[in-house]
Chain A
Amino acid sequence: MAFVGMTEEKMRVGLFVTCLVDLMRPRIGFAALRLLEAAGCEVVVPSTQTCCGQPAFNSGDTRVARALALKLIAEFDGLDYVVVPSGSCGGMIRAHYPQLFDDDPAAAARARALAARTFELTDFLVSVLGVGGVPGDFEGTVTYHDSCSGLRELGVKAQPRALLAHMPGVELKEMAASEECCGFGGLFSVKFGDISTRIVDRKCDNIRATGADAVVLGDLGCMLNIEGRLRRRGDERTRVLHVAEVLAGED
């Protein structure tokens, strides 16, 4: 594993910003970009990228999921790594792309090759780059929500906490049941809104009980769900932040 700075050539890293970040929160994409560049990577952002296909995959429409997977595999071909500021989309590529092509060995091999080079952002910074510091200067207490796919598909748990520990102004106060689902589940929250609301209420209670200034997490889906419920409950104080924003600081 080549450490940045030890070799002449910079590591070429493709950034998959994800469709939700593109649409709702571009600043998370730029925060990820800053973090990768600060760590010495040459970041490539394929301009044709759209969605990883997870909504189709989870809805049972494998035809659409395969088409979008093939598109993404081609777009990120030839790069050293692919980094995703989302455990959910990262999990789609790492854990599920290879399964999509059971009947197409050539495509399956390409999917496996991409999967092996794809990392969730904090996992990449810690496990691949071994970064020893981050540019952000956030001050305050935070609590961390472990998003399901990142945690259970990619093993993202210690990495974001290790990065936050580099920030002297950040105090981490763990919430109860941080590993429990927030109730987002993609289209689940649209199809079964009332059940989803009950689940996210438990998450909001656990967040509030810590008294933290902000809940920090690594997935925009959970973020929209938790922020939306906190605000609807009348909580205007607790900030809901993507870990990339906290780590990268203001542009």
Chain B
Amino acid sequence: MRSQAMFFKARAGDKLADRQLQANLGKAKSRFVEGRAQAVADYDAAPGADFEALRDAASAIRDRVLGNLDVWLETFEDKARARGAEVLYARDGAEICRLVVDIARRHGVTKAAKSKSMLSEEAGLNEALAAAGIEPVETDLGEYILQINDNEPPSHIIAPVFHKSKEEVAELFARTHHTPKKDDIAGMAREAREVLREHFMSAEMGISGANFLIAETGSVALVTNEGNGRMVTTLPKVHVVVTGIEKLVPTLEDFSTLMRLLPRSATGQRISNYVSVLTGVKGEDDLDGPEHLYVILVDNGRASLVGTEFEPMLRCIRCGACMNHCPVYQSVGGHAYGWVYPGPMGSVLTPLYTGIENALDLPHASTLCNQCGVVCPVKIPLPELLRKLREKQVELKLRPWRERLALRLWGWVASRPALYGFAARTAVRYLNRLAGGTDRIRALRAAPEWTAGRDLAAPEGRTFRELYAERVRHEGRTTR
């Protein structure tokens, strides 16, 4: 997917002006935020249960994997091969597309049923399949809605149509399916299911992502709510898994620890409707399952983070809690961010995967309020990583020269108390003149974006240091 992240500011402006989107975001936000809070409270209510301890355990599991990623990859590879899977590696998006198209051609595939995969968005896999004459059909309800809406990109990593209202989907369905407009979600889901059933039956290949890869068994774990994942991975004779190398966990026990966190953090569910652990190809006694299983393990920038200050980002289990709780995401939605991953995790991943210079705004598009950090199930210090990306921008001289100069000048003055005192006194008097005898400034040329939306209260009139110095002279107070 081509990144539009460099246009974040303009895109965010459009989203702020979109009243329908604003209404939709408000509703979706409260559902996820309240859902998680309730799920955590319920979890903690059980005797001996401690959600915080669970977060610690989960981040330790993820760190253990990342510390020896090569070893766990080999373990997974051996176990998966032993069960009949073919394990392939892809360096980047182009390689993913080439591998999947090759597999499809080898098996004479004309249609591929897909369950949700953000990595296929990274790679632009649907376009590549279509270009090769293979029809990709999205079967996750949200992704299906986006596909029939002219291949619109998802705006959220677990709720692709976070930005849409029920009404908008109802109109889209009526238009696309040539059916009377429905007003209930169950009815719309049934309608989509009827359309999709035919695709499930006729697709020769299923493509899925993976929520986790379990090293000790060579299994692929899928966490879904609609059951489409099971159809995609069991009905077609070929199943292709496309997933990141960082999705590994050592054991089934580790997987179960992470599963206590993932649904609660994501949707506020104790457990998702479907949890599938898929191991190998269809066995002799199995009634269902693919005859051919390919697992494509993707780098696409991940390996370069191992061992760096950004390694904690690879702990991410893609729950979406950071964006659900982010005041910026809540205000502009996912599309403003311009690439595959939105919100705080996206603002870290987009510059790291697509180039720091191609996403200059994203690390700055955060108040660093740390709401994301405190809800992250694997304790990724997201504000810290955003700040480190800001440091990288400064190191690489990617900030505008005016900003760099202003900061340096301010720092130089702030290191010289006498000069700083003079500058502060001057600034106060200047601001008071702008206030013109009132208690506020309505327009400030130095900060036009601030005063576009709010007033600036006028300073009191003299600086604390001036007033305190006077008091010291009168009262002989302690100072130094």
Residues of A whose CB lies within 8 Å of any CB of B are 17, 19, 21-27, 29-30, 42-51, 53, 55-64, 67-68, 71, 75, 148-149, 152-153, 179-181, 183-200, 202, 224-225, 227-229, 231-232
Contact = CB atoms under 8 A, between A and B. Distances in A.
B478 A44 contact: yes
A199 B331 contact: yes
A174 B409 CA distance: 42
A222 B394 CA distance: 26
A61 B332 CA distance: 28
Contact of A231 (B328, B395, B455, B460): B455
Contacts of A189: 449-450
The 9 closest A-B pairs by CB, nearest first: A193-B449, A185-B367, A197-B453, A60-B390, A64-B411, A228-B454, A181-B369, A26-B464, A48-B417
Contact of A44 (B393, B440, B479): B479
A181 B415 contact: no
Interface stretch (B80-88, B96-104, B256-264, B465-473): B465-473
B454 A225 contact: yes
Contacts, number: 203
A185 B456 contact: no
B417 to A, nearest CB: 4
A22 B424 contact: yes
Contact of B454 (A30, A185, A229): A229
A27 B467 CA distance: 10
Nearest to A226: B454
18 contacts: A19-B414, A29-B468, A30-B468, A44-B480, A50-B420, A51-B414, A61-B391, A64-B411, A152-B369, A180-B327, A185-B369, A187-B364, A189-B449, A190-B450, A193-B452, A194-B453, A196-B367, A202-B327
Contacts of B301: none
B463 interface: yes
Given A148-B370, A232-B455, A47 B467 contact: no
Interface of B: 9, 12-13, 16, 327-328, 330-332, 364-371, 373-374, 387, 389-395, 399, 403-404, 407-408, 410-411, 414-415, 417, 420, 424, 427-428, 440, 447-450, 452-457, 459-460, 462-465, 467-469, 472, 477-480
Contact of B411 (A19, A29, A56, A183): A56
A241 to B, nearest CB: 12
B391 A62 contact: yes
A232 B407 contact: no
B343 to A, nearest CB: 13
B78 to A, nearest CB: 39
Nearest to A12: B478
Contact of B407 (A46, A59, A148, A186): A59
B469 to A, nearest CB: 7
A64 B328 contact: no
Contacts of A62: 391, 394
A62 B395 CA distance: 10
Contacts of B328: 192, 195, 199
Contacts of B367: 148, 181, 183-186, 188, 196, 199
Given A22-B424, A60-B392, A228-B457, A191 B364 contact: yes
Contacts of A47: 417, 465, 468-469, 472, 479-480
Given A22-B465, A227-B457, A228-B454, A195 B407 contact: no
Contacts of A183: 327, 367
Determine which residue in A25, A183, A193, A194 has the highest number of CB atoms from chain B within 10 A of its CB, and name it.
A194
A45 B450 contact: no
B460 A58 contact: no
B414 A17 contact: no
Nearest to B388: A60
Given A68-B415, A180-B327, A194 B452 contact: yes
A192 B9 contact: yes
B415 A26 contact: no
Given A22-B424, A47-B465, A231-B440, A192 B415 contact: no
Q: Which of B9, B453, B477 has its CB near the most chain A CB atoms (within 10 A)?
A: B453
A198 B331 contact: yes
A62 B309 CA distance: 15
Contacts of A228: 440, 450, 454-457
Contacts of A232: 453-455
Contacts of B454: 197, 200, 225, 228-229, 231-232
A60 B387 contact: yes
A11 to B, nearest CB: 13
Given A62-B391, A195-B16, A45 B479 contact: yes
Query: Which of B374, B387, B414, B463 neighbours the largest number of chain A CB atoms within 10 Å of its CB?
Result: B414
Contacts of A179: 371
B411 A192 contact: no
A227 B371 CA distance: 23
Contacts of B428: 23
Given A47-B417, A192-B449, A199-B367, A60 B391 contact: yes
A27 to B, nearest CB: 6
B449 A194 contact: yes
Given A56-B407, A181-B327, A67 B479 contact: no
Contacts of B390: 58-60
Contacts of A196: 367, 449, 453
A23 B427 contact: yes
Contacts of B440: 228, 231
A181 B344 CA distance: 14
Contacts of A152: 369-371, 373-374
A196 B368 CA distance: 12
A24 B439 CA distance: 12
B393 A60 contact: yes
Nearest to B417: A48
B405 to A, nearest CB: 11
A21 B449 contact: no
B457 A22 contact: no
Contacts of A29: 464, 468
Nearest to A203: B327
B408 A64 contact: yes
A194 B415 contact: no
